[in-house]
Chain A
Amino acid sequence: DSGVTQTPKHLITATGQRVTLRCSPRSGDLSVYWYQQSLDQGLQFLIQYYNGEERAKGNILERFSAQQFPDLHSELNLSSLELGDSALYFCASSVDGGNEQFFGPGTRLTVL
């Protein structure tokens, strides 16, 4: 158990809908990262937050957004969902950016 928690474990929704994924980092970690993992693309970095502020952006679509709250938990919002958004979404945390990351168990999103 890495100490990073993610909810929900599974999410099934329809195209065009909006969902919110939640992540709680390990105790003491200030940095949160979001990743998307699909079979054909591997693990893709989406976005990173450090102590409430956005610090780095990867291949995140405009339909996706994220935030980190004062208690350091983070949410990833996915809107106007498409079939291709079906994937595993992982959250990871670290003490600071540039250090070892610890991954949560992931949220499996299925868009029908």
Chain B
Amino acid sequence: QKEVEQDPGPLSVPEGAIVSLNCTYSNSAFQYFMWYRQYSRKGPELLMYTYSSGNKEDGRFTAQVDKSSKYISLFIRDSQPSDSATYLCATLASGTYKYIFGTGTRLKVLA
């Protein structure tokens, strides 16, 4: 079993929809959680960085961490065609330096 699981998609939504992207993880030692956006053939771009449980909001993006169920989510409001990309979740255990990435969910926002 992978330490971080992510549905590869693709996920297709109409423009303006609310998008929900999710990951599950198995290691309860993970304390830091990140979401990256990766356009085709480009480097991943950091979107959100959260520590422990709770919500964090930045513009149209909200990251949510539920440590009790080992579940992390990224919500995108008012989705735009420019949001079409692969979204990667990543985790890190406190005191370690080895980031674990999900395989990514491919999102397509249709105009």
Contact = CB atoms under 8 A, between A and B. Distances in A.
Contacts of A104: 43
Nearest to A43: B101
Interface string A1-39: 010100000000000000000000000000101010000
B102 A98 contact: no
Contacts of B103: 42-43
A50 B46 CA distance: 20
Interface in B15-58: 32, 34, 36, 41-46, 49
Contact of B96 (A2, A44, A56, A88): A56
A102 interface: yes
Interface residues of B, number: 23
> Could you tell me the dominant secondary structure of chain B's interface residues?
loop
Nearest to A35: B101
A2 B42 CA distance: 11
18 contacts: A35-B101, A42-B88, A43-B101, A43-B104, A44-B101, A48-B98, A50-B97, A55-B97, A90-B43, A90-B44, A92-B44, A98-B96, A101-B34, A103-B46, A104-B43, A105-B42, A105-B43, A108-B41
A42 B43 contact: no
B43 A103 contact: yes
A33 to B, nearest CB: 7
A64 interface: no
A98 B32 contact: yes
B13 interface: no
Nearest to B103: A42
Interface string B59-102: 00000000000000000000000000000100010111111111
B97 A42 contact: no
B76 to A, nearest CB: 19
Contacts of A106: 41-43
Nearest to B36: A103
Given A42-B102, A42-B103, A100 B45 contact: no
